[in-house]
């Protein structure tokens, strides 16, 4: 078990529907990090922006972006995660990929597709919540709109980190701030949210507000809104154990089954 987990949050602008350019841009940003990190976190649909034009930009699990993520993970001896558009058996998925330095790939398909943007008409909804054990840390990865649904995120398995990657618009960023904090408090876990900035190809503006909250809901990052920024923060197992043992709130959680 690793006591500390050092994570790098990449709050970045995205080039609309241009996977190659986005991979190049992120490669340069990642190369600029001067310290070793355990996990690199990129936004939702980090190669394309939040597009419904899936057919023109979707990749397979053997495609260029998965290959690139494996190369980055190996080169920097770090896991890397973010969501991309994947086509599989004729269906499109908004899929979070968690790629480790060993080359191991774990995938989570977005459960709650965003009906306001007709994501549900283009992308197939995922049905399984996953927990990734990485360096002794249990991480629950989710995507953007999933943040609005606390039952799906409920900490029934004592995970340590709840992780959201997003393209969450500036117009509703107050909800993003409030819900990230709430998810940390109610689940007594670190809660990480990595959101993009800039304006996308359909003129939707994003202001970032990427953040990490501790188990008491305190922000432990200082990412500036609407700016591209890399924020590196160290998570501590001792912090989780201290407050879970002292307060024992998770002992009183409701019992239920995911369906």
Interval 197-237: pLDDT, tens = 999 999 999 999 999 999 999 999 999 999 999 999 999 99
Catalytic residue among 17, 59, 70, 110: 110
Over residues 49-71, mean pLDDT:
98
Active site residue 191: no
pLDDT digit string, tens, across residues 73-127: 999 999 999 999 999 999 999 999 999 999 999 999 999 999 999 999 999 999 9
DSSP 212-239: EE-TTS-B---PPTTS-EEEEEEEEHHH
Catalytic residue among 144, 170, 181, 231: 144
Residue 256 scores a pLDDT above 80: no
Residue 259 scores a pLDDT above 70: no
Contact in structure between 58 and 87 (CB atoms under 8 Å): yes
Q: Which pLDDT belongs to residue 70?
A: 98
Q: Which pLDDT belongs to residue 241?
A: 97
Active site residue 110: yes
Residue 64 scores a pLDDT above 80: yes
Handedness of CA 57, 119, 229, 107 (dihedral sign): negative
Active site residue 140: no
Catalytic residue among 17, 44, 100, 119: 44
* Percent over 70 (pLDDT), the chain: 99
Packing angle between helix 19-31 and helix 64-76, nearest 10 degrees? 0
Query: Domains of the chain by range and CATH?
Result: 4-252 (3.60.110.10)
């Amino acid at each position: 078990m690793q006591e500390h987990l050092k994570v790098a949050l990449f709050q970045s602008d995205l080039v609309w529907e241009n996977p190659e350019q986005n991979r190049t841009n992120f490669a340069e940003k990642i190369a600029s990090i001067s310290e070793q990190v355990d996990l690199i976190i990129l936004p939702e649909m980090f190669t394309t922006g939040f597009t419904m034009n899936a057919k023109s930009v979707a990749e397979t699990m053997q495609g260029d972006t998965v290959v690139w993520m494996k190369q980055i993970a190996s080169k920097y001896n770090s896991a890397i995660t973010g969501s991309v558009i994947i086509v599989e058996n004729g269906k499109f998925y908004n899929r979070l990929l968690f790629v480790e330095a060993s080359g191991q790939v774990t995938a989570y398909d977005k459960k709650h597709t965003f009906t306001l943007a007709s994501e549900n008409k283009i992308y197939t909804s995922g049905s399984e919540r996953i927990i990734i054990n990485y360096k002794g840390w249990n991480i629950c990865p989710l995507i953007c709109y999933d943040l609005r649904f606390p039952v799906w995120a409920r900490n029934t398995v004592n995970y340590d980190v709840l992780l959201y990657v997003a393209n969450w618009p500036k117009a509703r960023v107050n909800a993003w701030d409030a819900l990230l904090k709430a998810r940390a408090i109610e689940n007594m876990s670190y809660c990480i949210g990595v959101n993009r900035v800039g304006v996308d190809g359909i003129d939707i503006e994003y202001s970032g507000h990427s953040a990490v909250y501790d188990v008491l809901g305190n922000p432990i990052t200082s990412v500036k809104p609407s700016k591209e920024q890399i924020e590196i923060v160290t998570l501590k197992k001792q912090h989780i154990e201290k407050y879970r043992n002292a307060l024992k709130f998770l002992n009183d959680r409701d019992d239920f089954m995911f369906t």
